[in-house]
């Protein structure tokens, strides 16, 4: 058990920031400085503690605001997010073998075994970072206001129901995008960040797993907006901390490579939006295999 995971409790109507949140802030402060200040190779061992700190700090803020969080609801499931995150990101690394949209500067200094070890360790933080930040966004008044006070709080967005035409349309479109990506990667490389969602979301619906269409079928898009804003906030820190890192990643794309914010072209940040939905779909596909079809572990505004 992480120290202080259950410490933040109400006292005289006030919530306390938990110990694991303070631990996260300390990790961020220490490894941010080390990652940017030390010379030579350092990010391969500094990336994981830096992002572990981010995850714990965000989780602490969520708990201080809501008295619940990913870690405090289930420490084992929280650890499971880290374990699942690495193979999920390796899926996108596999797609990148075809597109070559990002490369790792300094990777040539590692043996194959060292490269797999350090990159896999770094990839473990993707899901907990995105989901934790999405939950933080979902805890704000914009997403959790009182529907009686604001009648249009929910249920008035575009309705997308998980019926047969929608699911078959999604599934077919996803495979078409994936094929186009593989055949003409220089043109259709953005499909890396959306094809997987259109393939996996219908599978989750057919298997009875949790899906985002549970909300859109009621015209409630708050979970999607929470994921979008959460992943953009996470992306800002990914790209900012990467900028002065070594080893680091850089981008090379056939079009849209202009107006950079850090290493990433501005248009590239749009790819983070469907990427968050892909993470959500892949997580619940995995959870469904283990009998957790209706798991509410990931709490978004509609839950």
Q: Please tell me whether the peptide bond between 221 and the residue prior to it is cis, using omega within 30 degrees of 0.
A: no
Give me the tens of pLDDT residue by residue for the chain, a chain 303 residues long. 333 444 444 444 467 899 999 999 999 999 999 999 999 999 999 999 999 999 999 999 999 999 999 999 999 999 999 999 999 999 999 999 999 999 999 999 999 999 999 999 999 999 999 999 999 999 887 776 544 433 444 556 789 999 999 999 999 999 999 999 999 999 999 999 999 999 999 999 999 999 999 999 999 999 999 999 999 999 999 999 999 999 999 999 999 998 999 999 999 999 999 999 999 999 999 998 877 666 667 877 765
Residue 218 in domain: yes
Is residue 222 one of the residues assigned to a domain?
yes
pLDDT in the model for residue 298? 81
Distance CA 41, CA 189 (A): 30
Name the residue range of residue 238's domain: 19-289
**Do the beta carbons of residue 21 and residue 56 sit within 8 Å?**
yes
Helix H segments across the chain? Answer: 19-37, 43-66, 70-73, 75-99, 112-123, 126-138, 141-144, 164-183, 185-188, 195-207, 213-216, 222-243, 272-289
The answer to the question of residue 115 being in a domain is yes
Residue 87 belongs to a domain? yes
- Model confidence, pTM: 0.91
The residue written with tokens 């992480």 in the block is 2
Q: Report if residue 8 sits inside a domain.
A: no
Does residue 60 lie within any of the structural domains? yes
The answer to whether residue 273 sits within a structural domain is yes
Residues 6+ apart with CB under 8 A from 1: 75
Please indicate, yes or no, if residue 107 is contained in any of the structural domains: yes
Q: What is the pLDDT of residue 146?
A: 46
Nearest alpha carbon to residue 185 among 97, 274, 116: 97
pLDDT confidence of residue 145: 52
User: Cα torsion at 29, 35, 38, 40 (round to 10°)?
Assistant: 170
pLDDT of residue 297: 78
Q: How many domains does the chain have?
A: 1
pLDDT at 135: 95
């Amino acid at each position: 058990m992480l120290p202080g995971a259950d410490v933040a409790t109400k006292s005289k109507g006030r919530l306390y920031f938990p110990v694991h949140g303070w631990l996260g802030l300390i990790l961020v402060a220490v490894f941010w400085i080390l990652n940017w200040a030390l010379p030579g190779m350092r990010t391969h061992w500094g990336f994981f503690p830096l992002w572990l700190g981010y995850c714990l700090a965000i989780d602490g803020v969520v708990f201080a605001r809501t008295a619940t969080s990913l870690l405090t609801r289930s420490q084992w499931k929280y650890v499971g997010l880290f374990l699942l995150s690495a193979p999920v990101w390796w899926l996108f690394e596999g797609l990148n073998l075809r597109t070559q949209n990002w490369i790792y500067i300094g990777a040539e200094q590692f043996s194959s075994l060292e490269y797999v070890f350090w990159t896999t360790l770094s990839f473990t933080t993707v899901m907990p970072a995105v989901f934790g930040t999405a939950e933080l966004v979902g805890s704000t008044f914009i997403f959790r206001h009182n529907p009686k006070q604001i009648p249009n709080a929910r249920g008035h967005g575009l309705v997308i129901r998980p019926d047969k035409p929608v699911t078959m349309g999604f599934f077919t479109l996803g495979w078409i995008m994936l094929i186009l990506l593989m055949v003409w990667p220089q043109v259709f490389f953005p499909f890396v960040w959306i094809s997987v969602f259109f393939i996996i979301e219908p599978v989750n619906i057919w298997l009875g797993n949790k899906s985002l269409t549970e909300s859109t079928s009621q015209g409630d898009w708050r979970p999607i907006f929470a994921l979008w804003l959460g992943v953009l906030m996470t992306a800002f820190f990914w790209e900012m901390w990467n900028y002065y890192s070594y080893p680091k990643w850089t981008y090379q794309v056939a079009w849209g490579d202009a107006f950079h914010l850090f290493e990433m072209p501005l248009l590239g940040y749009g790819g983070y939006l469907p990427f968050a939905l892909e993470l959500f779909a892949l997580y619940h596909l995995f959870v469904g295999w283990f009998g957790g079809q209706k798991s509410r572990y990931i709490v978004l505004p509609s839950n």
